[in-house]
Amino acid sequence: MLWINILLSVVGFLVIISIRVVNQYERGIVLTLGKYTGIRNPGLRFVIPILQRMIRVDIRVRTIDIEKQQVMTRDNVPVNANGVVFFRVMKPEDAVLKVQDYEYAISQYSQTALRDVIGGMNLDTLLTERQQIGEEIRVIVDKETDQWGLDVQVIKLQDIEVPDDLKRIMSRQAAAEREKRANIIKSEGDKEAAKNLAAAATTMATSKGAMQLRTLQTLDGLGPTASNTVIMALPVEVMEFFQQLTLKKSRD
């Protein structure tokens, strides 16, 4: 009777330790005596103790950082750049059996691809085309890691740091560019103002009474303040007389 109880206890213990629960976002890679024998889908699963073991693989979208590293651009400017990789495991068996540590492997390969891509670009392109650079790195990494059962979805560049002296030069260049645009806008405004003044002068010269009207507008704009004193050297009528006399002589 004692032996039966011991046997039942051992069997019960083996049944308990053989139970595995695979979550919805996981897949279980089963190795029997060290040999791959299948995948366990989500749910309650059994693994034969001692003979089998199960490796869980997370198939959700995961992120790893591309460590900050110094890279020399094509125009010989040293920059520090880092990024982030978004990927997921598409074939759990390949991710476990074909590469020792797929997270470390994809991290190292992403760093290498980042150096290669940035090293072939000028600084101006690097600062303005981040999305394009990230896509080029993604294509390179995804092509290599596809055989590992991984799908690289997005690679984003996070920080791109340039030397401090170059930052000061770029700041002065930007300030000079803004000043240049401001001068161009001001000169265009002066040009338009000159055209308008010339048109106004022509209108006043050819329109009878325009000069008198302008004079009255000027006087009205001075306001009723007692401190405003206006001295007119010649009456408007006298000025018109001389204008008519000048026109008459030119006709003769």
- Residues 186-205 as b/e (b if ≥16 CB within 10 A, e otherwise) read eeeeeeeeeeeeeeeeeeee
Report domain extents, the chain.
2-58, 62-167
Give SS3 for 228. coil
Q: Has domain 62-167 been given CATH number 3.30.479.30?
A: yes
For the segment 61-76, what is each residue's pLDDT rounded down to a tens digit? 999 998 888 888 888 8
Confidence band for 191, pLDDT divided at 50, 70 and 90: confident
- Indicate left, alpha or beta for 134 from its phi (over 0: left) and psi (-120 to 50: alpha): alpha
Assessment of whether the complete model's pTM goes beyond 0.85:
no
For the segment 146-160, what is each residue's pLDDT rounded down to a tens digit? 899 999 999 998 888
Above pLDDT 90, what percent of the chain?
30
DSSP β-ladder status, 35-40 and 26-32: antiparallel
d(CA 148, CA 146): 5
